[in-house]
Amino acid sequence: NSDLVLYVNLELVNLPQNRRYIVKEMLGQGTFGQVAKCWEPETNTYVAVKVIKNQPAYTQQAMVEVSILDTLNRKYDPEDKNHIVRILDYFMHHQHLCIAFEMLGNNLYELIKGNRYKGLPLSFVQRFSKQILQALVVMKDAGIIHCDLKPENILLCPRAKPAEIKVIDFGSACEEGRTVYSYIQSRYYRSPEVLLGYPYTTAIDMWSFGCIVAELFLGLPLFPGSSEYDLLKRMMEILGGQPPDNLLRDAKNTTKFFKQVGRIYSNSVSSAYRVLTEEEYETRESKKPQIGKRYFKFITLEDIISQYPYRNMPEEEISRESSMRKALIDFLRGLVEFDPVKRWSPLQAIYHPFVTGEEFKEPYKPLPETPRIPVFQAVMVDHNPGG
Ligand code: ATP
Ligand code: MG
Ligand code: MG
């Protein structure tokens, strides 16, 4: 239990005094490196230090994380109201780039697991949804795509702020219009446009967000694809339908999964594309598609949500629960929408009755997206409708 001390190389730190971070325990591991819980004696606080692998590619990408998070924190969320992790410091230590963040708690995957994969009460799903949406509104204003939203990258705040969460891990984030990589997002949360190799926008985060909301309720991932083919088949089964023809026409990987069976833009209502059968896929790709087992008894999104067991719920709560589930289904339909153009933006989604808690009466029609608010105003605007 001998504490390892990370001494900060002063030359590289733009901070007033010599800081020390005393490593107490390891918090997590990821692709980019390891995260350590550290004690900072000068300020008497714990911080989380992400130690990046000492390879140029990782270091470079981690510097993007530093710069994006610094911009989001200082310029777009100066008062720390929008559920984005705070970056505190960064420095080099033995050729490892280290980034210090405010110390947070368990991630949402650990929370779901701790609840034995039974899902969370809808009131929690609603509160978490609202907070993640606040973070997404800020990211969209800043033109930042997170690219790796998933339960592991959403953390509970320390006990002093119960049921509060923050979005972390901007290690894969990029600016809209600088979308360098095509192989992004963790598979279960991967959007159809990324899967198919089509130019992507902040809308891919809204897809991942929809998958997360469903998983918080169900306790299990909505689209646990064993392979990309399996992922696509699950989306099509659960949602009904498929990506729109214009996307399929222009996407790079369409022929991996689809066969053209008609003329594009013929006036026919049916699509010009049909998804490959498992046999056709095997012939074309010279390998068997990996197909995973189905977790849910029901097929459609509507049935999966509405028929989900009402676990030991008192009689008087059942009608409220059932009405909230209807709102949840309508909410999810705007998020896990195949067409990225039709998919709701964060600001459109944040006014949905499921989020605001208003009574759900009819399918939600969001207002058209308003033009982008200039940055200097965006800082002042409070998008939180409930106050
Ligand atoms: P990934 O493989 O998802 O890309 P990564 O290498 O980019 O991971 P992070 O997601 O930033 O690393 O951190 C890895 C894990 O460390 C998180 O899932 C979380 O459990 C823990 N962790 C990260 N930041 C914090 C923090 N601020 N407070 C507490 N724990 C944290
Ligand atoms: Mg991560
Ligand atoms: Mg990451």
ipTM: 0.97
Q: Which residue's structure tokens are 């230090």?
A: 49
pLDDT digits (tens, 9 = 90+) for 198-226: 999 999 999 999 999 999 999 999 999 99
Residue 381 confidence (pLDDT): 47
Average pLDDT over residues 91-109: 94
Q: Is the distance from CB of 194 to CB of 232 less than 8 angstroms?
A: no
Q: Looking at ligand 1, which residue's alpha carbon is closest to its atom 23?
A: 35
pLDDT digits (tens, 9 = 90+) for 285-317: 999 999 999 999 999 999 999 999 998 888 889
- DSSP label at residue 332: H
d(CA 72, CA 139): 7
Q: Which residue's structure tokens are 């009819």?
A: 362
Residue 11 confidence (pLDDT): 42
Which DSSP string do the residues of 155-214 spell out, in sequence order?
EEPPTTSTT-EEE---TT-EETT----SS-S-GGG--HHHHHT----THHHHHHHHHHHH
- Backbone φ, ψ for residue 166 (5° rounding): -140, 145
The catalytically annotated residue of 77, 89, 141, 148 is: 148
> Rounded to two decimals, what is the model's pTM?
0.91
Query: One-letter amino acid identity for 18?
Result: N
Pocket of ligand 1 (CB under 6 A): 27-28, 30-33, 35, 48, 50, 85, 101-104, 107, 148, 152-153, 155, 168-169, 171
Residue 105 confidence (pLDDT): 96
| Closest ligand to the CA of 50 | 1
Instruction: Tell which residue, 136, 375, 334, 149, has the closest CA to residue 239.
Output: 334
Tokens at residue 70, please? Answer: 């610094």
Active-site residue, 3 included: no
Average pLDDT over residues 116-138: 97
| Closest ligand to the CA of 27 | 1
d(CA 255, CA 275): 9
d(CA 110, CA 90): 27
Angle at 383 between CA 160 and CA 189, to 5 degrees: 75
